[in-house]
């Protein structure tokens, strides 16, 4: 009943007033995306994002709730004002229009996976021509893959076909193992987690395409810049105290990220 009442109030209260109201309770939506986010035996959301956010919420004396649901629903919760934040979140220009972002919390990489013994190996983007490449989406991975496709067309190269996979349950690695597609574009750690989960041993990372930070995304309608600055200040303090979150990230085999003024400026991160 509490969530229903809150949801109704959101539409009665002017949005500008809602954003400026003190926010002491935060709901974060996420989905099963190991090793960055997953559910434990009790079906509770867990992982490095939850670990870091729990510390930040405790420091700010906020009551925070973490809800793990399928990916599309988790993003809809953020858009429909049922959650104030969502993770893991990659930055792109479209999302920057309606989201504030936390400081970068950890490093992630995108790459192309192929089956062992592939007839044509992906060693550069030129090798993608006329291939069928699968990607999970809609997601930041699919956004980045479409950008690659568009750039290839501009460069006069033959485009590749994108096979969009709408479930986040590891279908891509299974398709690669069974030679149903030429390549799979994915977050490298997440793909490897799925390979381990399904005990698949004949899929390899063929080409590392990019490296970028992972964030928490906050809906601009629900939170003010001042509230984001306060939350990011708490995260920055914790980042320094935990040596770039190395102690938190190490159990998940996730690399830390070096936060610089240039990175904060590049991604329009509010810290003051």
Report the C-alpha gap between 92 and 144 in whole angstroms. Answer: 8
φ/ψ of 138, rounded to 5, equals -70, 135
**pLDDT (tens digit, 9 = 90+) per residue, 234-243?**
999 999 999 9
Q: How would you class 14 by CB atoms within 10 Å of its CB: exposed for 0-12, middle for 13-18, buried for 19 or more?
A: exposed
**pLDDT (tens digit, 9 = 90+) per residue, 111-125?**
999 999 999 999 999
**Residue 255, pLDDT above cutoff 90:** yes
Q: Which residues contact 27 (CB under 8 A, 6 or more apart)?
A: 64, 65, 67, 77, 82, 83, 84, 85
Determine the pLDDT at residue 55: 98
**Tokens, residue 133:** 């490449």
Determine the pLDDT at residue 23: 59
Of all residues in the chain, the percent with pLDDT exceeding 90 is 87
**Residue 96, pLDDT above cutoff 90:** yes
Radius of gyration of the chain (CA): 19
Q: What is the DSSP letter of 268?
A: T
- What length does the chain have? 272
Determine the pLDDT at residue 109: 96
The residue written with tokens 């809150």 in the block is 6
| pLDDT tier at 156, thresholds 50, 70, 90 | very high
Nearest to 66, CA basis, from 81, 80, 42, 83: 83
Sign of CA dihedral 204, 210, 215, 219: negative
**pLDDT (tens digit, 9 = 90+) per residue, 176-194?**
999 999 999 999 999 999 9
**Tokens, residue 32:** 């099963």
**Residue 8, pLDDT above cutoff 80:** no
Task: Tell me the average pLDDT of the chain.
Answer: 91
| Contact between residue 205 and residue 122 where contact means Cβ atoms under 8 Å apart | no
């Amino acid at each position: 009943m509490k969530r229903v009442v809150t949801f109704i109030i959101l539409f009665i209260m002017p949005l500008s007033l809602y954003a400026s109201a003190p926010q002491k309770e935060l709901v974060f939506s996420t989905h099963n995306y190991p090793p960055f986010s997953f559910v434990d035996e009790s079906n509770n959301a867990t992982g490095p994002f939850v670990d870091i956010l729990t510390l930040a919420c405790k420091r700010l004396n906020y009551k925070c709730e973490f809800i793990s649901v399928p990916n599309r629903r988790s993003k809809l919760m953020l858009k429909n004002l049922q959650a104030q934040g969502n993770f893991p979140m990659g930055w792109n220009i479209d999302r920057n229009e309606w989201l504030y972002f936390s400081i970068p919390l950890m490093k992630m990489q995108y790459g192309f996976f192929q089956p062992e013994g592939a007839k044509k190996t992906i060693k550069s983007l030129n090798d993608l021509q006329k291939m069928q490449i699968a990607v999970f989406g809609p997601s930041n991975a699919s956004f980045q893959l479409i950008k690659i496709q568009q750039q290839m067309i501009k460069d006069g190269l033959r485009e590749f076909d994108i096979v969009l996979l709408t479930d986040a349950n590891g279908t891509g690695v299974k398709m690669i193992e069974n030679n149903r597609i030429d390549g799979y574009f994915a977050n490298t750690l997440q793909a490897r987690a799925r390979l381990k989960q399904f005990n698949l041993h004949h899929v390899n990372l063929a080409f590392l395409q990019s490296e970028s930070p992972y964030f928490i995304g906050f809906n601009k309608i629900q939170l003010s810049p001042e509230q984001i600055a306060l939350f990011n200040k708490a995260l920055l303090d914790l980042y320094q105290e935990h040596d770039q979150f190395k102690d938190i990230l190490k159990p998940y085999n996730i690399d830390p990220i070096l936060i610089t003024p240039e990175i904060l400026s590049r991604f329009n991160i509010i810290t003051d």
